[in-house]
Each structure stands twice: as C-alpha cells, then as structure tokens.
Amino acid sequence: MRIFAICAAFLLYSTLFADERAALSIFTAPDNASVFLDGNPEKEIQRTPFENPAMLGGEHSVLIVAQSESFVPAYYDFVLQPGTGLEINHEFLRRNQVFAAYALSPAEYHIELNSGFLYFYNLDSNSVSKIPFDFRLGLPLGFGARLAFPVQELAVKNFLLGLQYNYFPLQMGIAADWISPRGSGYSAIRLALLAEQNIWILNSLENLVYEYSKQDKAEFYLRLGMPIQHVFLPYLAFREKIHLPLKSHLLSLEPGALLQVGNRFSLEIAIPLAFVGENANKGFGFYFGIHADFSFDKKAKKDAHRAGIVWDVNEVSNSEYRKFCEEKGCNIKDDDYPVLSISLSDAIAYSKYAQKRLPTAQEWKRAAAAYANFDDVCENPKLKRVNEGRIVNGVRNFAGNTAVWLLPENENQNVAKFAGSSYGDSPEACKRKAALTDISSPNGSEFIGIRLVRDLW
C-alpha cells in the first residue's frame, strides 16, 4: 500500500510539474557544429549556436561534431534543473596532422609549427640524424604557405618554400614546393596530391608526391590510424620512394602514434622498423616530434549569438489574458484559444504584467532559422487551442496559428511590427510567411496574438 501511495504521489508530481522546462544553450568555436541530443542518431536541425528553451529536466547528454574532420568531437553529460538554464561553451580540439603531411584547415588563419628529432641506424654502422623544422601559414579559402628547414648533421640541407590549396570539405588538396638543397647545385619542384578521410573508425591520410629535378622522384605516403578517445591516434604508415624511371625504390614501414596534449599541441613518436628496396640498406630508427597549431580566426563575441531567452511554449491564451484584462473591464471569451485583436500597447502592458517581454525581430528570425521547413504546422492552417499541436524546437504552433507582436525599439513609435503566419493563411502562404516579419497597424488584428519570452540573464 505504501509503495502504491509513493507511485501515485510521483505520478501526481510528474503531472503537475511536467511543463517545468529548462533551457540549453551550446556555443562552439568554430561554430556551425552538429548537435546530437541524448544518444539520438539524428542530428538536431539547428547547428551551433544552439538554443533549446524547453528541455525536460533531468539527466541529458549531448554529442557535438564540428563540420571539419580536423576537429575532435565533444561529448557532455549534464543535469538540467527545471526552470533554469545551462550554457555549454566548447572550443574544439584540433587533430594535429602528422609530420610530412601537408593538410591545413582551409577556412581560417592559423600558424602551424612542426619540429622533432629523427635518428636512423643502418646495419652498416652508419647513422643519420635530422632535426626537421616546418612552418606553415593557413589562409582563408583553402590557401596555405609552407617554409621548411631540414637540418642534418648540424647543417641546413634543404630550403623548402611552398604553396597549397585545399578543397573543403573533402579534405583534399594540392601542394607545390620549391626545393633548393644546399651544395647540390640544382633546384627541384615538388607537386603533391593530398587527402584525408575518416573511413568507418579509421583515419586515413595519403600523400602522393612527384619531384621534378635532375633525379626525378616519386613518393607515396599512406597513414592508417584508429583514434582512441579522439585524442590518441596510433597508426601504421607506409612510405614508398621511387627514383624514376624505376631505377630503385625504398619502402619504409613506420608504426607510430599521435597524442593530443592540449588544444594547441600534440606529440608524435614513430619507429621506422625496416627499409626494403634495391640498393637500400636495412635498419631501424625513431622519430619524436612536437606539433603546435595557433589559430587567429576572429571569433564572434559570445553575446552576438547568445539569445539568452526562453520562449514560451504556447501563445498567450484568453484565460491568461483575462486576469490582466479584468482590470481594464474588457470582455474575453474562449479560454483555451489564443488571445487576438490586441493592440501593441496592450501586448506590451501585458508582457510587463507577466514579467516577461515580447520577442525582437532578430530573436524571431533566429528561432525561425531552426526549422528545416514548416510543412507540418502549415499543412492545414486553422485556429487551434494554445495547448493543441506538436512542440518543435521548444515552441508549439510556431507557424499557422497566430502571428505575434514584436518588441519595437521604441515603445512610443507609430510603426508596429509582427511576425509569422496565421490561421487565415493558405498552406503555401503559411510556409512562405512563417519566418518573415511585417508591418501592421498598432491597433492589432484578428490574426495577431501574443507569444512572450523570458530573459535568462
């Protein structure tokens, strides 16, 4: 009996407080990331900056995935308290590229520095040590510049100057380097095709390089890695060097790993286990590298995207407006239907009475942008009760029920603005006007109602 009473009390509590919603805001750098809520394989329609003002209270999870595969996805577990708001600000970690790869993020300014130490021991007792230094500048629209100084046996052996163009979002590009090895008496030009993909759970990086010089060369580099927790990438690389026309070849197998130690830095270690090829010595060695990436893209101010508001799920009903209206002596009927034919000044007065406010035009457009289309709500427009219809993006009947008053910049101005479509529109007109704002008489009309918002901060 006691268990039954507890269950009944819980059900009663759930019913009474089911409408207590919480707000979730997600901001990322870079923005325009995909959002997956509570393990749902379907991503949310709205990308970051993401606003959902009507989340149910309790435990939730969110997966945030950047548009570019160059960034590490993020996963959050959190608890929402009803009637409160939670803001997630996330700066994506970058998957720094392995040394000898050309790939740069194509849509922002950034500087990439690669350095390390390479030691290789031949079985004929000879050894080679190098300290590669690679400086790269990423530019918008996929362009980049590269400058490298490989140091071998305490002397700068090569001078490389190159340009690159990436085709985004496929992470494919083309690069050109001009090389002038010191003391060689000749220069060379290298052309490279570059590609990086995520295949199933594998990360694949390929470079195909052709060097035009006195001794024409070709090189193919393939790296296959399996990310672990998105910040540790063990890999196996194959590097084939060929002297053209097929005079000799050199194959190296390089197991290694990348470890992301921060948003700007990663470490790498690779072990060339064997070199196999005609006229090639066999041996072994190791490479230890440090990679740094510093972005200089302009980040939008947080407040520029943050709506900072919670939309009311429903329009203002006649019964809600009656309590306010009784003080003015007006007559309101049809309790559950949205209040209509209210002047702008009365709408503003009611919003103050409810300790909320009307939405602005920008807030309306931002909310409308979260909808892929308005087919569901505009299929058969008619006047519905305020609690009738599906809740989409935290709002019920965003289109096709009533248009709504917008907050003017100046409460005393004569021009009144409203937004959205109403029950008086045809299905096509409902879809067309759903996200628009327009001008009306401040006295109101039978198609304009009230929907309020509440500031969180």
Say yes or no: 10 and 77 in one domain.
Answer: yes
Stretch 152-173: mean pLDDT: 76
The amino acid occupying position 203 is: N
Say yes or no: 277 and 346 in one domain.
Answer: no
Say yes or no: 131 and 225 in one domain.
Answer: yes
Say yes or no: 196 and 280 in one domain.
Answer: yes
C-alpha distances in Å from residue 118, one per residue of 99, 127, 165, 455: 11, 11, 28, 58
Residue 194 lies in a domain: yes
Residue 98 lies in a domain: no
Report how many domains make up the chain: 3
| Structure confidence by residue, pLDDT tens digits, 107-158 | 567 788 889 888 887 766 677 788 888 888 888 777 888 888 888 766 777 7
Say yes or no: 142 and 281 in one domain.
Answer: yes
370, 45 contact by CB (below 8 A): yes
| Structure confidence by residue, pLDDT tens digits, 177-236 | 888 766 666 788 989 998 877 776 788 888 899 988 877 889 999 999 887 766 788 999
Say yes or no: 336 and 279 in one domain.
Answer: no
338, 444 contact by CB (below 8 A): no
Maximum CA extent, the chain: 104
Going by the DSSP 8-state scheme, the letter that residue 1 receives in this structure is: -
Hey, what are 269's tokens?
């270690």
Q: Which of 265, 295, 325 is the last residue of a domain?
A: 295
152, 128 contact by CB (below 8 A): yes
Range of the domain at 268: 110-295
Say yes or no: 371 and 312 in one domain.
Answer: yes
Say yes or no: 163 and 30 in one domain.
Answer: no
| Structure confidence by residue, pLDDT tens digits, 67-78 | 776 677 777 888
Model confidence at 162: pLDDT above 60? yes
Q: Which of 233, 261, 295 is the last residue of a domain?
A: 295
| Structure confidence by residue, pLDDT tens digits, 383-430 | 888 888 877 777 888 888 899 999 987 766 667 889 999 998 888 889
| Structure confidence by residue, pLDDT tens digits, 248-298 | 778 888 999 988 887 678 889 998 876 666 555 577 888 898 988 877 654
Residue 447 lies in a domain: yes
Stretch 12-36: mean pLDDT: 73
Residue 30 lies in a domain: yes
Q: Which of 235, 262, 295 is the last residue of a domain?
A: 295
Model confidence at 333: pLDDT above 70? no
In which element (H, E) is residue 353 found? helix 344-353
pLDDT of residue 236: 93
Stretch 330-343: mean pLDDT: 79
pLDDT of residue 375: 82
All residues at 6 or more sequence positions from 310 whose CB lies less than 8 Å from its CB, including other chains: 21, 23, 53, 54, 85, 453, 454, 456
Instruction: Say which CATH number the domain at 263 has.
Output: 2.40.160.40
pLDDT band at 301 (very low <50, low <70, confident <90, very high): very low
Residue 62 lies in a domain: yes
Hey, what are 154's tokens?
């305490």
Spatial distance between the Cα atoms of 154 and 100, rounded to a whole number of angstroms: 20
Strand pairing report for 160-167 and 155-156: unpaired
User: Percentage of the chain surpassing pLDDT 70?
Assistant: 79
Instruction: Say which CATH number the domain at 34 has.
Output: 2.60.40.1120
Say yes or no: 87 and 128 in one domain.
Answer: no
Residue 191 lies in a domain: yes
Say yes or no: 128 and 215 in one domain.
Answer: yes
User: Percentage of the chain surpassing pLDDT 90?
Assistant: 10
The amino acid occupying position 247 is: K
Say yes or no: 330 and 283 in one domain.
Answer: no
Say yes or no: 322 and 403 in one domain.
Answer: yes
Instruction: Say which CATH number the domain at 410 has.
Output: 3.90.1580.10
pLDDT of residue 222: 92
| Structure confidence by residue, pLDDT tens digits, 246-260 | 777 788 889 999 888
